[in-house]
């Protein structure tokens, strides 16, 4: 949907202003401390976080992008059009275990779809303190619903300017402070159209400039507030004028004191896109400076973070222990000011402090080279949550955080805190049982200090070994295929649904006398793999040394076993569907190409190596009157549906070709057929009707990559021919026909985008590379089969082939 040029240009700024306003209003309405808005993206079925208020964006990057069919509360609210109320962590774990495994903290949350009568735009979400049950948040839920309704109404008014979607990173903004500061605050307004700045009396008093001495320009304001940071202030003003929300800006006054500036556009839709009026304030800590002075004298390190993770205060001792100057720390995100704190365990503790009311404590190891040996290499860090500020203390410590010092590891007790999210995200990308097993091996085992892993899958009431690592060769062979009546921990954990933990091998043998052991020392965990109440298999974790499994570790391992079970169940469904799709496609692709005495052809098909590996690519050679039809196509998507649609299109094209219909009619007829068969599905296609005697070729293209032609002298070019849109989109689409002549000995190459396109690369570069490869692929007398093999060699041996590939080559033989 498009609008006038001016409307389209203003759209991003107007949209951002609406979303920011709705987010902050939603937080206040629902009594929350953070919130945001998810919107549709240009990728079908994918939601993107457009605004995040009250939380640091980098710490919540895994939730920036979300598939609408995933079992998450935002996805359910969007897909089903219902409000989702999760009053506490217990209810969250019960209803959304994958979401809870990623954020296992004590908080509640509300999710309301943003929709009008015809369109669901996205979801408004608020994170708030935990409540006993859903009845305690009824009033907040109703207020949030009203905010979402008003947001939908205003988003509807933007549709004439273009589609209401979001494809960028989220805008991270600060919500209104829960407790207004007691410091001095002055306000200002800037009109970029006139360049005039007006300031209230409080601001004049704060910066020490009288109205008569103030010349009313943006530079005068910047130099009065922060002489050394004037350029940063001017840049922030320009960003705000363009309705580009930015982080709160911390600057230094002339006396070195810290000041906070914030900017906003009160009515983004009322002005032109390049001249939005900007309002803002300057906050000086004022009386709080006395508290800072007292904290400066404390023997322990103290620093404060705002809700976006920016360091608002750090005493000298904190700067010393963190080995960073105060001027480097202040006003910057903690992970930028202290890069060596940018670790998964630290990030997860900070997420906990931002979302739940309880303080968190952790130990971090300072990197080598900080001259920390006189105080110890380890720091004890505590974070105390507040409504607007996190107060952090840091002290040196010489002790290791737990008994894992023998391994020199950081702290195994941290594993339950930060590994669930890593494992959950990694498992979403695994589609085969082998890939799931590899993810568990890579992400889960090291986090808990494990050295051995075995995964068994249930089939016909027997457990079969699917993956093993770390066990002595052949040790697990006797256990492969054991029945469910066997008295073994790996069996009984599945039949009872209870995880079994053994802190030592002695405990294991006491519970299961006579059980074969692979080591005399160590510990074992046996976890049931159960997905939605259905048994899938069991998981065995092995440790080289005796260890105690804490209650927290047992809970998280049990939750992670559920994630693994769901991933394994999905992998089994995938493999069944893949086998069906492979069989379907093999049946549909031509077993042999139509032969002609004056034309030689060769075709190749390679399935993808990621996701549902069978796709909708196809090629064909069909008799068409006294000539031949050369066809190649690519149906959107992968799996059984794509293969089935491919079969229907191939049959339709063959029917049109056998009737010797002109290329444009073949494309138009196939286009109408696809629209009737499956609205929403689309395909690209290239159709060439070749006269083998004269070499005249008549070509029609529907959104397909251009053919390549290698002349008899070896020169090779891209046939940049006109074409129409892809099939299945526009019933009135037209497909122009281009004529060209194929000389005897010339090689014509048709291909699908999988052969020339790679993630992050330009398809034009891929086409150029294929042109060069075709030019070098053999002599004019070389057989086409050999040329086809050479052109697909690199793709055939690639470990990462995200899309399937089809290639069709044709050459005219010289008459004898």
Q: What is the pLDDT of residues 53-108, one digit of tens each?
A: 999 988 888 889 888 888 889 999 999 999 999 998 878 877 887 787 778 788 99
For the record, the structure tokens of 502 come out as 């053994």
Task: Calculate the average pLDDT of the chain.
Answer: 82
Length of the chain: 816
User: Residues 6 or more apart from 270 whose CB is under 8 A from it?
Assistant: none
Q: Which residue has the tokens 């995040």?
A: 52
Q: What is the full DSSP assignment across 436-483?
A: HHHHIIIIIHHHTT--EEEEEEEETTEEEEEEEESSPTTTTGGGTTEE
Sorting pLDDT into bands at 50, 70 and 90, what band is 212?
confident
Residues 619, 630: Cα–Cα separation, whole Å: 8
Residue 193: its pLDDT value, please? 86
pLDDT band at 415 (very low <50, low <70, confident <90, very high): very low
pLDDT at 741: 94
Does the pLDDT at position 587 exceed 70?
no
95 or 688: which carries more pLDDT confidence?
Answer: 688
Confidence band for 176, pLDDT divided at 50, 70 and 90: low
For residue 802, pLDDT over 80 is answered with: no
Give the pLDDT score at 290: 46
User: What pLDDT is recorded for position 800?
Assistant: 58
Contact 329, 394 (CB under 8 A): no
Higher pLDDT, 694 or 676: 694
pLDDT of residue 154: 92
Q: Which residue has the higher pLDDT, 527 or 680?
A: 527
Q: Which of 279, 113, 269, 259 is nearest to 189 (CA)?
A: 279
Per-residue pLDDT at 596 exceeds 90? no
Q: Which residue has the higher pLDDT, 85 or 268?
A: 85
505: Cβ–Cβ under 8 A, 6 or more apart, which residues? 517, 519, 520, 521, 522, 523, 524, 546
Mean local confidence (pLDDT), 762-769: 88
| pLDDT band for position 413 (cuts 50, 70, 90) | very low
Q: In a 3-state reduction of DSSP, which class is residue 690? A: strand
Q: Running DSSP on this structure, what letter comes out for residue 342?
A: -
3-state secondary structure (DSSP) of residue 661: coil
Question: If you search the block for the tokens 């023998």, which residue do you land on?
Answer: 406
Cα 589 to Cα 501, 633, 640, 687, 688: the distances in Å are 52, 12, 14, 16, 18
Q: What pLDDT band is residue 443 in, cutting at 50, 70 and 90?
A: low
Asked if residue 151 has pLDDT above 90, the reply is yes
Query: Would the pLDDT of 508 be above 90?
Result: yes
Tell me which range, 73-87, 160-174, 192-206, is most confidently predicted by mean pLDDT: 73-87
Please report the pLDDT score of residue 436 as a whole number: 79
Of residues 372, 364, 257, the one with CA closest to residue 320 = 372
Task: Say what the pLDDT of residue 301 is.
Answer: 87
Region 762-774: mean pLDDT is: 89
Q: What is the pLDDT of residue 374?
A: 45
For the ranges 186-195, 377-386, 612-621, 806-815, which has the lowest average pLDDT? 612-621
- Give the whole-angstrom CA distance, residue 211 versus residue 372: 52
Contact at 8 Å (CB) between 87 and 137? yes
Beta-carbon contacts of 155 under 8 Å, excluding residues fewer than 6 positions away, are 15, 18, 114, 116, 121, 164
Q: What is the pLDDT of residue 99?
A: 81
Q: Which residues does 211 contact at the CB level (< 8 Å), separation at least 6? A: 199, 204
pLDDT at 559: 76
Question: Dihedral sign, CA of 480, 486, 488, 491?
Answer: positive
- C-alpha–C-alpha distance, residues 773 and 788, integer Å: 11
Please give the structure tokens belonging to residue 661. 């219909």
757 and 766 Cβ atoms separated by less than 8 Å:
yes
Confidence of residue 173 (pLDDT cuts 50, 70, 90): confident
pLDDT score at 754:
86
**CB-based burial label for 623 (10 Å; 0-12, 13-18, 19+):** middle
Residue pair 624/658 in contact (Cβ under 8 Å)? The answer is yes
Confidence band (pLDDT; 50, 70, 90) for 502?
very high
pLDDT, tens only, 510-535: 999 999 998 888 999 999 988 777 88
Predicted pLDDT of residue 407: 37
Evaluate if residue 217 carries a pLDDT over 50.
yes
**Phi, psi dihedrals of residue 390, rounded to the nearest 5°:** -100, 125
- Closest to 448 (Cα-Cα) out of 429, 422, 480: 422
Q: Per-residue pLDDT averaged across 292-313, rounded?
A: 78
Q: Name the strand (E) or helix (H) holding 332.
A: none
Question: Is the pTM value of this prediction over 0.85?
Answer: no
Amino acid 404: pLDDT = 38
pLDDT of residue 402: 44
* Residue found by looking up tokens 């010797």 in the block: 660
**What pLDDT does 666 receive?**
95
Highest-scoring range by mean pLDDT, 350-354, 415-419, 546-550, 704-708: 704-708
Q: Which residue has the higher pLDDT, 289 or 720?
A: 720
The residue that leads in pLDDT, 675 or 9, is 675
Q: How would you label 573-597 residue by residue, b for 16+ Cβ within 10 Å and e otherwise?
A: ebeebbeebeebbeebbbeebbebe
Which residues, in sequence order, are bridge partners of residue 677? none
Among 174-178, 475-479, 590-594, 673-677, which stretch is predicted with the lowest mean pLDDT?
A: 174-178
Give CA–CA dist 164/185, Å, rounded.
37
Q: Can you tell me the mean pLDDT for 787-805? A: 77
Q: 119-128, 459-468, 706-715: which range is least confident on average? A: 459-468
pLDDT at residue 794 above 80? no
Parallel/antiparallel/unpaired status of strands 84-86 and 108-115 = antiparallel
- Closest CA relative to residue 724, chosen from 704, 702, 753: 702
pLDDT score of 270 more than 50: no
* 780: CB partners within 8 A, 6+ apart: 712, 714, 745
The better pLDDT of the pair 402, 806 is held by: 806
Is the predicted pLDDT of residue 4 greater than 50, yes or no? no
- The partner residues of 790 in beta bridges, in order of sequence, read none
Beta bridge partners of 663: none
pLDDT more than 70, % of the chain: 81
**Top-confidence residue, 571 or 55:** 55
Q: Identify which has the larger pLDDT, 478 or 590.
A: 478
Hey, how many other C-beta atoms are within 10 angstroms of the C-beta on 740?
15
Tokens 């290329």 belong to residue: 663
Q: Which residues of 134-165 are buried (b: 16+ CB within 10 A; e: fewer)?
A: eeebeebbebbbebbeebbebbbebbebbebb
CA end-to-end span of the chain, whole Å?
59
Q: What is the pLDDT of residue 285?
A: 62
């Amino acid at each position: 949907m498009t609008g006038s040029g001016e409307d389209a240009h203003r759209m991003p700024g107007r949209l951002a202003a609406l979303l920011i306003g709705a987010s902050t209003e939603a937080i206040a309405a629902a009594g929350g401390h953070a919130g945001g808005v998810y919107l549709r993206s240009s990728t079908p079925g994918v939601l993107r976080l457009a605004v995040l208020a009250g939380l640091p964006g980098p710490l919540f990057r895994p939730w920036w992008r979300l598939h609408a069919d995933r079992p998450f509360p935002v996805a359910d609210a969007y897909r089903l059009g219902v409000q989702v109320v999760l009053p506490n962590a217990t209810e969250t774990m019960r209803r959304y275990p994958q979401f809870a495994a990623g954020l296992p903290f004590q908080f509640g949350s509300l999710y309301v779809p943003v929709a009008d009568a015809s369109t669901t735009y996205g979801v408004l979400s608020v994170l708030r303190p935990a409540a006993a049950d859903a009845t305690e948040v009824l009033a907040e839920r109703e207020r949030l619903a009203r905010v979402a309704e008003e947001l939908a109404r205003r988003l509807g008014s933007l549709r004439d300017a273009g589609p209401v979607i979001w494809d960028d990173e989220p805008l991270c903004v600060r919500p209104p402070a829960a407790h207004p500061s007691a410091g001095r605050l002055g306000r200002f307004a800037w009109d970029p159209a006139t360049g005039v700045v007006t300031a209230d009396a409080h601001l004049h008093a704060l910066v020490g400039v009288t109205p008569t001495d103030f010349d009313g320009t943006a530079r005068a304001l910047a130099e009065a507030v922060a002489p050394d940071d004037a350029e940063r202030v001017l840049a922030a003003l320009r960003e705000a004028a363009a309705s580009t929300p930015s982080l709160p800006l911390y600057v230094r006054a002339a006396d070195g004191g810290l000041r906070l500036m914030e900017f906003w556009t009160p009515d983004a839709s009322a002005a032109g896109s390049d001249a939005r009026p900007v309002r803002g304030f300057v906050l000086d800590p004022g009386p709080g400076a006395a508290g800072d002075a007292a904290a400066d004298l404390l023997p322990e390190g103290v620093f404060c973070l705002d809700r976006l993770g920016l360091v608002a205060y750090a005493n000298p001792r904190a700067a010393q222990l963190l080995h960073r100057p105060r001027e480097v720390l202040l006003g910057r995100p903690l992970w930028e000011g202290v890069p060596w704190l940018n670790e998964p365990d630290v990030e997860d503790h900070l997420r906990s402090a931002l979302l739940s009311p309880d303080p968190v404590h952790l130990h971090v190891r300072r990197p080598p080279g900080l001259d920390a040996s006189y105080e110890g290499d380890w720091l004890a860090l505590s974070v105390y949550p507040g409504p607007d500020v996190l107060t952090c203390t840091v002290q040196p410590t010489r002790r290791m955080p737990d008994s894992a010092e023998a391994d020199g590891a950081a702290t195994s007790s941290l594993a339950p805190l930060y590994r669930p999210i890593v494992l959950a995200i990694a498992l979403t990308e695994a589609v085969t049982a082998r890939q799931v097993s590899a993810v568990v091996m890579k992400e889960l085992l090291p986090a808990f200090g494990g050295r051995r892993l075995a995964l068994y899958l249930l089939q016909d009431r027997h457990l079969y070994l699917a993956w093993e690592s770390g066990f002595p060769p052949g040790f697990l062979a006797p256990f492969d295929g054991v029945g469910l009546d066997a008295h073994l921990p790996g069996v009984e954990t599945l039949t009872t649904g209870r995880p079994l933990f053994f802190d030592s091998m002695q405990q294991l043998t006491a519970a299961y006398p006579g059980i074969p052991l692979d080591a005399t020392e160590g510990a074992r965990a046996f976890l049931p793999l159960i997905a939605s109440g259905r048994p899938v298999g069991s998981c065995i974790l092995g440790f080289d040394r005796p260890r105690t499994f804490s209650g927290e570790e047992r809970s998280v391992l049990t939750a992670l076993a559920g994630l693994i079970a769901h991933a394994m169940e999905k992998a089994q469904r995938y493999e069944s569907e893949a086998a069906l799709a492979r069989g379907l496609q093999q049946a549909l692709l031509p077993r042999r190409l139509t032969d002609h005495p004056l034309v030689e052809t060769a075709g190749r098909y390679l399935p993808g190596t990621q996701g549902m590996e069978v796709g909708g690519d196809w090629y064909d050679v069909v008799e068409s009157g006294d000539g031949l039809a050369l066809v190649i196509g690519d149906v959107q998507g992968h799996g059984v549906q794509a293969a089935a649609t491919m079969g229907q299109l191939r049959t339709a094209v063959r029917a049109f070709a056998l009737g010797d219909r002109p290329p444009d009619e073949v494309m138009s007829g196939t286009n109408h057929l696809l629209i009737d068969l499956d609205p929403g599905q689309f395909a690209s296609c290239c159709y060439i009707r070749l006269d083998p005697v004269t070499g005249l070729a008549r070509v029609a293209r529907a959104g397909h990559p251009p053919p390549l032609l290698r002349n008899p002298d070896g020169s090779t070019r891209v046939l940049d021919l006109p074409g129409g849109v892809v099939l299945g989109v526009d019933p009135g689409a037209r497909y122009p026909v281009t004529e060209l002549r194929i000389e005897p000995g010339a090689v014509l190459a048709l291909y699908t985008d999988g052969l020339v396109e790679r993630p992050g690369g330009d398809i034009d570069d891929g086409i150029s590379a294929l042109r060069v490869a075709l030019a070098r692929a053999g002599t004019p007398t070389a057989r086409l089969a050999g040329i086809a093999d050479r052109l697909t060699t690199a793709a055939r041996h690639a470990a990462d082939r995200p899309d399937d590939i089809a290639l069709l080559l044709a050459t005219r033989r010289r008459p004898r």
